[in-house]
Structure 1
Amino acid sequence: MIPLPVTEGGRHPDSYGVRVFTAQIIVSGEALVDLVADPDGRYRAVPGGSPANVAVGLARLGAPTQLLARLGTGAFGQVVRDHLVANGVGLDHAVDTADLTTLAVVSLDGEGRAAYDFYAEGTADWGWRPDELPASLPAETLALVTGSIAVAREPGAAALVELIRRERSRGAVSVVLDPNLRPSLLAPHDVVRRQWNELVALADVVKVSDEDLAWLAPELPVASLAADWARRGPALVVVTRGAAGAIGVTSGGTTVDVPTPEVEVADTVGAGDAFTAGLVDSLRLDGLLGGAARDRLATLADAPLRAILDRAALVAAMTCERPGADPPTASALTARVSSK
């Protein structure tokens, strides 16, 4: 895969190129602040939110990326904005709002797995109005990447889902979805399950964790549900299973199972988001994003699909080596691959 240049302005210093490249990835959803406890009991404000993490991961890998988000104008909102700009994420489609920034208090277990307590009532991320969203995405857009809480939590979810529905109907971009569920912030289980059954049918690519699948449909084996989803509309469904690796299933019938690279784990914060970034970037580099590429993606053979998932898994594993959601740059990833 050949790295493509990135857009000018706010470019991460370790990403590829300096000239403008017109293909864009637009990520939509929440951009919040994680409050992370230090050993002395104090809390640090760390920019987070699954879609924002994905956008940063993509930009660090050299993908021209824009974040479609509602950003608070207060101090926490500025922390988020500064982080995004410093990492090369474009904010042309972001909306400024006086609403407060969502806060997530992060706690880690003995294995570095994160749990979250949210302060999210009436905050910026969920307040989307139809007039705040673009009437159409730029012609150069290859993919709309979204999911997580913002597409399921009202009052703003309906507007984002309508955007997804419209873009899938137009057929020019790839719709990439990652549930990344946070049940404490969502509607009752049966409502969320119905929402995601509808959303899956609108997607070209779904990346989902085994934990999310088990919550959505505990009565079904993970592999069976992934195959079922691949028959409902997506060209590709990818299931991540933590240390057990990932499974990829295409609607054309290709199934691959890749391992998780062995690394020294600091924590797993942002690992799933890093996998999504690595997956989308790999599809971009292989020319498998955009409506015109959908049939090729659906019929992808074993070897290229395996290479795509291996790269995404390595991006996630490298993120686990450092505390917090700190995904690798393109050069760091290249160096790791070259050292093998």
Structure 2
Amino acid sequence: MITVVGEALIDLISSESGTYRSAPGGAPANTAVALARLGVDSSLLARIGSDRFGRQLRAYVASRGVDTRDLVSAEQPSTLAIANLDEHGHASYDFYVKGTADWQWAPDELPDPIPEDVAALHLGSLAMAMEPGASVLREWAARQRGRTVISYDPNIRPALAGEPARARARVEDQIALADVVKVSDEDVHWLFEREPGPDSSELLLETARSWLALGPVLVAVTRGGEQTTVVVRGREDAPLSLTPAPVEVVDTVGAGDAFCAGLLDAFGQAGALGAGGRERLAALTDARLAVCVEHAHRVAAHTCRRVGADPGELDLAPLEF
């Protein structure tokens, strides 16, 4: 079982006509759904409101095969995210978050310790940023270290992140809890207040190396349709870079979340999750690691070919290492 921790919210996605359509979303929910689409046993640890949107979210994740054992019923309303798409299908977001269900965690709502069948915890996004719940989740996650592999994607939303320097301090504190970190180039540029440019590759690589020193054994930096760079503890001077195959993009909603799902699925197939997974992740050869990253690229591409974050049916052959 891979348990994804965080928000499940409603995306209101813009269209060319100027109208908006509602769709279940939230990066953690997207990752859990993509894992289930891959045939991976996945659960979503999220607070779900009792309003109409909350009922829609609960029904959605269950219908996609996500185990609902960890869903927490909440009295607060559901969170809304307004996703505006540009001509390239890239989304920018505004949010309605005040007093909503996703951020009101109490310690007794969290399984502590996590069940023995959990091979990985995936954390990140708004649930790890929005108080008062973020501090509760952070302390809970710290107590799970060593029991399973912990994966983290900061998934920055600038509209809610506050000042970059303060957000960077929070992100780096949470990175110290993780075994695996996935981050986008956009997030790194925003956190370090740097515009993309000729020195971007150097910034991304140095960031990955500095974050490894905080505790993870593997950091993967994605750059959309350009190369993904992976740096592994003990091999900091020999990063692995792989470029995804070209894809006709409909929209990029959920692409990063699908990448996380694909990477975790691949690590599971490689036998590198569960208790003791840190050591097995660090021991992955570049050849085996390349198979994992290429699998993640394929899963993300499926999402980019469709409207919305759900990658659809994923009938992919077992990986060969």
* Same fold, TM-score > 0.5, yes or no: yes
Partner of 2:110: 133
Show the counterpart of 1:262: 246
Contact kept, 8 Å, 1:255 with 1:302, in 2: the verdict is: no
AA aligned opposite 1:233? G
Question: Which of residues 229, 234, 241 is equivalent to 2:211?
Answer: 229
* Residue of structure 2 in register with 1:324 after alignment: 308
Offset of 1:51 from its aligned partner? 0.4
Match of 2:132 in 1: 155
Question: Post-superposition shift, 1:40?
Answer: 4.0
Is the CA contact (8 Å cut-off) linking 2:93 and 2:159 kept in structure 1? no
User: What amino acid is aligned across from residue 205 of structure 2 in structure 1?
Assistant: A
Partner residue in 1 for 2:197 = none
Q: Specify every segment of 5 or more residues in structure 1 that has no aligned partner in the other structure, as ranges.
A: 1-23
The alpha-carbon deviation at position 39 of structure 1 amounts to 4.1
2:276 counterpart SS class: helix
Equivalent residues of 1:252, 1:299 under 8 A apart: no
Which residue of 219, 222, 225 corresponds with 1:240?
A: 222
| Residue correspondence of structure 1 range 176-191 to structure 2 within 5 A | 176-191=151-166
The reply on whether 1:215 has 2:199 as its aligned counterpart is no
Report the Cα distance in structure 1 between the residues aligned to 2:72 and 2:161, rounded to whole angstroms.
Answer: 23
Q: State the one-letter code of the partner of 2:178.
A: A
SS in 2 for 1:162: helix
Q: Deviations over 1:68-127 (max 9, x none)?
A: 000011101111111100001111111111211000111110111001111111101111
Q: Between the two proteins, what is the percent identity of the paired residues? A: 47
Q: How many residue pairs end up in the alignment?
A: 311
Which amino acid in the other structure matches residue 170 of structure 2? Q
Contact 2:14–2:85 (CA under 8 A) maintained in structure 1: no
The Cα shift of 1:233 comes to 1.1
- Asked if the contact 1:235/1:297 (under 8 Å) is kept, the reply is yes
Q: CA deviation at 1:42?
A: 3.3
Whether contact under 8 Å (1:28, 1:69) holds in the other structure is yes
2:213 alignment partner, SS class: helix
Q: Secondary structure at the match of 1:329?
A: coil
| 1:269-296 C-alpha deviation (Å, 9 max, x unpaired) | 1110110010011101111112312112
1:31 aligns with 2:22: no
Correspondence for 2:169: 194
Measure, in 2, the Cα distance between the counterparts of 1:142 and 1:321. 30
CA contact (8 A) 1:100 1:123 kept: yes
Determine the C-alpha separation between the residues in 2 that align with 1:293 and 1:189: 32
What displacement does 1:43 show?
A: 2.4
Matches of 1:304 and 1:231, distance apart in 2:
23
SS at match of 2:272: coil
Partner of 1:312: 296
The alpha-carbon deviation at position 224 of structure 1 amounts to 0.8
Alpha-carbon shift at residue 326 of structure 1 (Å): 2.2
Alpha-carbon shift at residue 328 of structure 1 (Å) = 4.3
Residue of 51, 67, 71 corresponding to 2:28: 51
Structure 2 Cα separation of the partners of residues 33 and 264 of structure 1: 26
Stretches of structure 2 that go unaligned for 5 or more consecutive residues are 195-201
Aligned partner of 1:19 in structure 2 is: none
RMSD: 1.7
Aligned partners of 2:15 and 2:85 also within 8 Å: no
Residue 249 of structure 1 corresponds to which residue in structure 2? 231
Q: Normalized against structure 2, the TM-score is what?
A: 0.93
Q: Report the Cα distance in structure 1 between the residues aligned to 2:189 and 2:275, rounded to whole angstroms.
A: 30
Residue 3 of structure 1 corresponds to none
The answer (yes or no) to whether the contact 2:76–2:100 under 8 Å persists in 1 is yes
SS of residue in 2 equivalent to 1:30: coil
Q: Secondary structure at the match of 2:2?
A: strand
Q: For residue 121 of structure 1, what is the aligned residue in structure 2?
A: 98
Inter-partner Cα distance in structure 2 for 1:107 and 1:288: 37
TM-score (structure 1 length as normaliser): 0.88
| CA distance in 2: counterparts of 1:290 and 1:264, whole angstroms | 36
Q: What residue number does 2:199 align with?
A: none
Alpha-carbon distance in 2 for matches of 1:212, 1:60: 26
Compare 192-201 and 210-219 and name the one that shifted more. 210-219
Aligned to 1:283: 267
- Report the secondary structure of 1:232's partner residue: coil
2:220 partner letter: V
Hey, what does 2:64 align to over in structure 1? Answer: 87
